[in-house]
Amino acid sequence: MAVINFRASLRKFDWVLLSLVVVLVAISLATIYSIDLSQGEKLQYFPKQSIAFFIGLVLIFAASFFHISFFRTNAKLFYALAIFLLIAVLFFGQTIRGTRGWFNVAGFSFQPAEFAKVGLIIFLAWWINRYGRRFDKWQFVFTSGFFCLVLVGLIMLQPDMGSALVLGGIWFGYLFLTGIKKRYILLLVVSGLLLFLVSWFFIFQDYQKNRIMNFFDASQDPLGVGYNVTQSIIAIGSGQVMGRGLGFGSQSQLHFLPEAQTDFIFAVVSEELGFIGSSLVLIVFFLLLWRLLYIAKKSQDEFSTYLILGIILLFFIHILINIGAVSGFMPVIGVTLPFLSYGGSSLIINMFLIGIAESVACHS
């Protein structure tokens, strides 16, 4: 059956996983409200993010009531829908900061690149299960890579380098998890370096090149490309142990820190809630990933296991890149922090993925 029994679902529902998500979103809403206070009398971000949170809650419970076989049976449909949306947004999408990657409907934006992550995870989990553990064959690397490259190519046309790298990271992570031969890994690394060189000269925009160069030395342009990272590091350091308090962070409240509500929200948390607040966020993230791994171990079929592992890969890559960027250890490529960064599409999709994980938990 596509939908499982309502009472049985609630009985096996992983309330610990949901509680961890709620804690992260609560911190996010408090921080976004604090940022909103500096924008003027009218709240700009908080209402939309609150609506996205309630939509996400509905999706968590709705997805959990579907039997995991629903996602396995419709894996190709999810993948095809991701392709359709990525093509459609190139023709009918809204351009924001040089990227044509959003649909705007009734004042709300939707980013197909976020849904593409769901489509890729479900499809690759299905493809791995279908391949029957024959991962020593080069055909597995080629075919799985081709499916990923289709989505990556469409996303790069927007262009959105951050989402493209996340999708590539998910696919590469899956290859490690399946235990492919080491020579395939070496070949992929060399191919990746060659692809990077080609992209540098023919694909990357100037601002993307500047972000990468800034990673090696943010001080070379402290008032230009390096400005965001410099202000972010100042914000993190000024929070000290206890933080300045919500609404009292000078970097975010006085608008020294651009994109404080999205890419650099962890810097705001560190400044206003201090080392204690930022440590709490990291601990909750760790517990969230650990809980997802626990569900993966309990799953009763290979598809469910790889599905959860894909979700773990997605969250881990986002956390690593985002926190690494705001701390000055990685380039800033516009990757959000799951459940914390402002963005309805990101929050709704992430909560939908939690709903899929709940479906696995309810089915196991």
The pLDDT tens digits of the residues spanning 194-226 come to 877 877 777 666 766 666 666 555 555 555 556
Domain-located, residue 346: no
Domain-located, residue 127: yes
Give the least confident one: 61-75, 141-155, 232-246, 267-281.
232-246
Phi then psi dihedrals of residue 258, to 5 deg? -70, 155
- 354, exposed or middle or buried, with CB in 10 Å at 0-12, 13-18, 19+? buried
pLDDT at 53: 96
- In sequence order, the 6+-apart residues with CB closer than 8 A to the CB of 244 are 238, 250, 271, 272, 274
Find the domain containing 237 and state its range: 24-39+74-339
Tokens in use for 88?
Answer: 């459609």
pLDDT at 208: 64
Q: How many CB atoms lie within 10 A of CB 359?
A: 27
Measured CA to CA, the distance from residue 229 to residue 331 in angstroms comes to 9
DSSP output for 256-313: -STTTTTTTHHHHHHHHHHHHHHHHHHHHHHHHHHHHHHHHHH-SSHHHHHHHHHHHH
- In sequence order, the 6+-apart residues with CB closer than 8 A to the CB of 224 are 210
Report cis status (omega within 30 of 0) of the bond before 258.
Answer: no
SS3 content of the chain, % helix, strand, coil (to 5): 70, 5, 25
Measured CA to CA, the distance from residue 265 to residue 323 in angstroms comes to 9
Confidence band for 1, pLDDT divided at 50, 70 and 90 = very low
Domain-located, residue 289: yes
Measured CA to CA, the distance from residue 173 to residue 132 in angstroms comes to 18
Q: How far is CA 166 from the centre of its chain?
A: 8
Number of domains in the chain: 1
Phi then psi dihedrals of residue 66, to 5 deg? -90, 135
Average pLDDT over residues 74-98: 91
Measured CA to CA, the distance from residue 336 to residue 345 in angstroms comes to 11
Measured CA to CA, the distance from residue 113 to residue 103 in angstroms comes to 11
**Residue in 280, 292, 276, 283 with CA at minimum distance from that of residue 18:** 292
- How far is CA 309 from each of CA 12, 15, 61, 135, 215, rounded to the nearest angstrom? 20, 19, 20, 17, 30
**Contact between residue 169 and residue 319 where contact means Cβ atoms under 8 Å apart:** no
Tally of residues, the chain: 364
In the chain, the amino acid numbered 135 is F
Average pLDDT over residues 120-126: 96
Task: Give the three-class secondary structure for 29.
Answer: helix
* Mean per-residue pLDDT of the chain: 86
Task: Give yes or no for residue 121 having a pLDDT over 60.
Answer: yes
**Contact between residue 158 and residue 89 where contact means Cβ atoms under 8 Å apart:** yes
Domain-located, residue 152: yes
Domain-located, residue 62: no
Average pLDDT over residues 301-312: 94
For the segment 3-46, what is each residue's pLDDT rounded down to a tens digit?
A: 555 665 677 789 999 999 999 999 999 999 988 887 767 888 89
Q: In what order do the strands lie in the sheet with 108-110?
A: 94-96, 99-105, 108-110
Domain-located, residue 61: no
**Contact between residue 310 and residue 125 where contact means Cβ atoms under 8 Å apart:** yes
| Helix boundaries (H) for 112-226 | 112-131, 138-156, 161-178, 182-202, 206-216
pLDDT at 3: 53
Domain-located, residue 166: yes
Task: Give yes or no for residue 359 having a pLDDT over 80.
Answer: yes
The one-character DSSP state at 131 is: H
- Pairs from 212-215 (Cβ < 8 Å, separation ≥ 24): 212/331, 214/331, 214/332, 215/330, 215/331, 215/332
Domain-located, residue 1: no
